[in-house]
Amino acid sequence: MTKFQAEIDVMPKKEILDPQGKAVTGSMKNLGLEEIHNIRIGKHISLEIEAENEDLARQKVDQACKSLLANLIMESYSFSLRTV
């Protein structure tokens, strides 16, 4: 079994309003950081997974995202894997 580290991003879909991101974009202006726009806030998840090979690890992480980590109605996800 090989150990992999997965780094997953779960973000609100583009069509979905992100009120938290909007609020933080407003706060940037108050901090004098007017150059910063279009903030979107999601989740970052790191996890360790043991699998025979990278393909199987990828399948398992995909399953974890679909069934638990992301709400596919409102969020999309992407991830990268590396051996540890």
Nearer to its own copies, 31 or 73 (CB): 31
Residue numbers of the site for its own copies (CB under 8 A)? 7, 9-11, 21, 24-25, 27-28, 31, 33, 35-51, 60-61, 63-64, 67-69
CB of 22 to its own copies, least distance (A): 12
CB of 81 to its own copies, least distance (A): 12
Whole-angstrom CA distances from 14 to 58, 63, 65, 66 are 25, 22, 18, 18
Rg of the chain in Å (alpha carbons): 16
DSSP 81: E
